[in-house]
A and B are shown apart, each in its own frame.
Chain A
Amino acid sequence: MLEGFIQNILNALQWGSFYSLIALGYCLVYGVLLLINFAHGDIFMVGAYIAFFVSMSLLGEFGVIPGMPTWLVLTLSVPLVMILTAMVGVTLERVAYRPLRRKGVNRLYVVITALMCGLILENGNLAILGASRKSFPTLFEQTVYNIGGVSFTNLKVAVILVAVLSFVFLRFVVVKTKIGMAMRAISYDKFAVPLMGIPVDSIIVFTFVLGSGFAGLAGLLFAMTYPVLDPYMGALIGWKAFIAAVVGGIGSIRGAFAGGFLLGFVEIMVVAFFPSTLRDLIAFAILLVILTLKPTGLFGVARRTKI
C-alpha cells in the first residue's frame, strides 16, 4: 500500500514536472506582458520536433560526425534544442505580437493572434510532415532502480531534477538579477519603464527566449520519456499547463511551479483510484472549485483596480 503510494507520488512528480516547465513559460510571458501566450503549448510541441530532428541528424552512421556517442549527442542537443526553440518563440514575438503591441491595440487581439499562431504551428506541422507519428531515438540508456518495492528510472529522476533546477534558475533570474527586476517593472508600470532607460523590447525578447527555451527543454524531456511525437501533443498539454499556471496564480513563478505539480498530482491520483477516463473530468472540476474559492489562484495577489 505504502509502496504503491510512493510510486504514485514519484509518477506524479514526473508528470507534474512537464506541466511545471510549460507553466513557467506561460507565467513568464504573462508576468511581463499580461498576455496569455496560447501558442506556448505548440512551442513545446515544436521543441519536441526540433529535438527529434537535432538528435536524428547528430546520431548514427549518417550523422554530421558519424558514430558520435549518445551521451555527446544528448549534451549537444540540450543547448541546441533550447536555442532553436527560443528562436521560434522570438520569431512569433517579432512577427505577430510586436507590431500589435506597437499599435497599442486591445489586449484581446494579441491573445487571439497567439491562439491562431498556435493553430498555424500545429496544423502547419501536420501538413508539412504528414500525419505519421515520429518515434524518438533513445539518447539515454534507461536503468530501472528498485528500492523497497518502489521502482524508478534514472530518466524519471533526471526529469524531476531538471524541473526543480529550472524553477530555481528562473526564480533567481526574476528575483535577483537586474534584468529580472526590469521584467517585473514592465508588468508593474508599462509607461514609466521606458522613461527609466530600460529597453522594453529587449527585455520582452529576453522573456520569450527564457520561456520558449524551457518549453523546448520540456519538449526534449517529454520526447525522451514518451518517445512518440504527434503534432497535436502540445495542444492538450499546453491548455492544461495554462490551467495549472492560473491555479497557481498566474504571473507568479512559484505559483506556476506549484500549480504544475498540483495538476500532476491530481491527475495521477485520479487515475490511481478511479477509472482513467475520469481523469480530465475530476482534475478540471477540482481546479474549477479552487478557482471559485480563491479567484486569484494559490499564490496570486489580487490587482487593485483603481476607480
Chain B
Amino acid sequence: MKRVTTPILLLILLVILVALCSTKVLNIYWQSVLMFMGINVILATSLNIVNGNMGEFSCGHAGFMAVGAYVSSVLSVLFFAKDKVFGDALFPPELAIPFFPVILVIGALAAAVVGLLVAIPSFKTRGDYLAIITIAANYIVKSTIENIDAIGGARGFMGMGKVTAAMRGTIGLPWMVIWVFLGTVFSVWLIRRFIFSTLGNGVNAICQDEIAAEIMSVNTDRMKLTAFMVSCGLAGLAGGLFAHVLGYVNPGSFTILKSTEIMVMVYLGGMGSLSGSVLAAILITLLMEGLRFFFPFLTDVLHWTHVLPASYEVSQVWKWVLIPLCLVLLMQFRPEGIMGNRELADIFPGLRKYYKFKG
C-alpha cells in the first residue's frame, strides 16, 4: 500500500487538474501561473543539486535553461510546424503528442552536454573561480544564441504555439499543463533518487570536505561531472517547457537576472533541502503574481490617503526591490532558509506513512 499511495495521489491530482483546465474552471491565467510554478520547481530543485548539495556557487543556471529552450523549440518547430526558415513540417501533426517528450529529452541532453563547459573546469577550481566560470558560461550561451541568425538572433524565436495547437487539435486536452506536471514530477523523482543514491552521498561529501572525500575513495571528478550534468539537463528540460508554454523565446529572458531569481528560490528554501526548494519555488511564484495585483491596490490606497502625490504610481519595479529585501532579511535572521537542510518528512514524520522509498 505504501508503495502506491504517492503515485495514486499524483495521478488523482493530474486528473483533477486536467478536468479543471478543460472545463475552464481554471482560466488561462491560472493555468499559466500553475505551469510557471511547475517550471520554477524544476529549476529550483535542479539548481539545488549544485548550490545546495554540492555547496558550489553556480550563478549561470539560466544559460542551460536557454540551451534546452532553444534546442527543443527548434526541433519541435522543425518537425511539427510550418515555418519560414525550416519549411513545411516533417511529420504529420498527429505525431506531435508522442514525440513531444522525446524532443524535451533531446533539449535536456543538449543542455547537459553544454553543462560540461562548467563541469570540466570544476575539477580543478572551486568557490569563487567556479562562480565566475558559471557567469561566463551564461554570457557565452546568451551571446551565441544572439549571434545565430537562423534561430532569430536577438529578436527571438517563435512558432511553438503552432505545435501546442497541433497537440490540442489531435486530442482536445490541455497538453502543456499535462507535460509540465509530468516534467515536474519526473524531475523531483529523479533528483530524489539521485540525492539518496551512492552518487548523491558522494556529492554531499564534496560539500562537507572535498579533500577528505577524496581520501575516503570518493571519485570527486565523477561526482561533480554527474551532478553538473543532471542539474544542467533538468534546467534544459525546464527551458523546453518554458519555451512551449510561452510560445516564444528570446535570449533576453535568460540573463543573470533569471539565474538570480532561481538562486533566490534555492536559498529561500534552504540549501540542500529538496522539499524546501519545491516550497520556495511555489511561494515565490505566488508572491510574484500576488505583488502584480498588490501594487495597483497599494497605489490606490496611498492616493486615497494622500500619502503619495497623484502623479506618482507604485510601479511593478518595486517587486524587484521587495524580493531581494526579503532575502537580505532572511539572511540576517534565518540564514539557513525555510527548511534548513531538512526535508518535509523530517519535520512531519507522519508523512513517512504515505510513501515508501528505498534509501
Give the Cβ gap from A188 to chain B, nearest Cβ, in Å. Answer: 17
Q: Find out whether the CB atom of A112 lies under 8 angstroms from the CB atom of B140.
A: no
Q: Which of B36-44, B75-83, B92-100, B323-331 contacts A (4 or more CB under 8 A)?
A: B323-331
B 300-359 contacts with A by CB, 8 A: 315, 317-318, 320-321, 324-325, 327-328, 331-332, 335
* Alpha-carbon separation in the docked complex, A175 to B59 (Å): 33
Stretch at the interface among A66-74, A119-127, A132-140: A119-127
Is there an interface contact between B328 and A96, defined as CB atoms closer than 8 Å?
yes
Selecting from B131-139, B167-175, B216-224, the interface stretch reads B131-139
Classify the interface of chain B: helix, strand, loop or mixed: helix
Q: Which residues of chain B are near A307, meaning CB under 8 Å?
A: 211-212
Partner-binding segment picked from B3-11, B141-149, B192-200, B277-285: B141-149
Q: Which one of B117, B133, B137 has the greatest number of beta carbons of chain A within 10 Å?
A: B133
Closest to A247 in B: B132
Distance, CA A174 to CA B287, complexed state (A): 46
Chain A residues 258-283 with CB under 8 Å of chain B are 275, 277-278, 280-281
| B267 is an interface residue with CB less than 8 A from chain A | yes
User: Which listed residue, B121, B212, B332, touches A292 by the CB 8 Å rule?
Assistant: B121
Query: Are B135 and A235 in touch, CB under 8 angstroms?
Result: no
Known: A113-B328, A120-B328, A291-B133. A284 touches B143 (CB 8 A): yes
Known: A127-B315, A284-B140, A295-B125. A239 touches B135 (CB 8 A): yes
B263, CB-defined interface residue at 8 Å:
yes
- Which residues in A have their C-beta under 8 angstroms from that of B136? 243, 284, 287-288, 291
| B202-228 interface code vs A (CB 8 A; 1 in, 0 out) | 000000000110000000000000000
Q: Are A278 and B128 in contact (CB under 8 A)?
A: no
- In the assembled complex, which residues on chain B have CB atoms less than 8 Å from the CB atom of A296? 129
Q: How far is the CB of B124 from chain A (nearest CB, A)?
A: 5
Nearest chain B CB to A289's CB is how many angstroms away? Answer: 10
Any B CB within 8 A of the CB of A217: no
Question: Is B32 an interface position by the 8 A CB rule?
Answer: no
Contact B144 A281 (CB under 8 A): yes
Residue of B nearest to A99 (CB): B332
CB of A105 within 8 A of CB of B335, answer yes
Question: Which A residues are CB-close (under 8 A) to B315?
Answer: 127
* Total chain A interface residues with beta-carbon distance under 8 A: 45
User: A242–B132 contact, CB under 8 A?
Assistant: yes
Decide: A250 near B335, CB < 8 A? Known: A123-B320, A127-B315, A288-B136. no
Q: Which of A30, A103, A113 lies at the interface centre, i.e. has the most chain B CB atoms within 10 A of its CB?
A: A113
Measured between beta carbons, the chain A residues less than 8 angstroms from B132 are: 242-243, 246, 291
Any A CB within 8 A of the CB of B179? no
Q: How far is the CB of B223 from chain A (nearest CB, A)?
A: 18
Contacts of A162 in B (CB 8 A): none
Q: Nearest Cβ distance between residue A149 and chain B, in whole angstroms?
A: 32
Asked whether, in the complex, the Cβ of B335 is within 8 Å of the Cβ of A109, the reply is yes
Q: With an 8 A cutoff between CB atoms, is A116 at the interface?
A: yes
Cα–Cα, bound, A297→B140 (Å): 19
Contact A111 B256 (CB under 8 A): no
- Chain A positions near chain B (C-beta within 8 angstroms): 30, 36, 96, 99-100, 103, 105-106, 108-113, 115-117, 119-120, 123-124, 126-127, 235, 239, 242-243, 246, 250, 275, 277-278, 280-281, 284-285, 287-288, 291-292, 295-297, 305, 307
24 contacts between A and B (CB under 8 A): A100-B331, A105-B331, A109-B335, A111-B57, A112-B331, A113-B332, A119-B320, A119-B321, A120-B321, A120-B325, A123-B320, A127-B317, A242-B135, A243-B132, A246-B128, A246-B129, A278-B143, A280-B139, A280-B143, A284-B139, A284-B143, A295-B129, A297-B129, A305-B211
Q: A112-B263, A284-B139, A297-B129 are in contact. List 15 more A-B contacts (CB 8 A).
A: A96-B328, A100-B332, A100-B335, A106-B335, A112-B327, A113-B331, A119-B260, A119-B324, A235-B256, A243-B132, A275-B147, A291-B129, A292-B121, A296-B129, A307-B211
Q: Which residues of B contact A (CB under 8 A)?
A: 55, 57, 59, 117, 120-121, 124-125, 128-129, 131-133, 135-137, 139-140, 142-144, 146-147, 153-154, 211-212, 256, 260, 263-264, 267, 271, 315, 317-318, 320-321, 324-325, 327-328, 331-332, 335
Smallest CB-CB A-B distances: 6 pairs: A116-B324, A281-B143, A123-B320, A127-B317, A119-B324, A280-B143
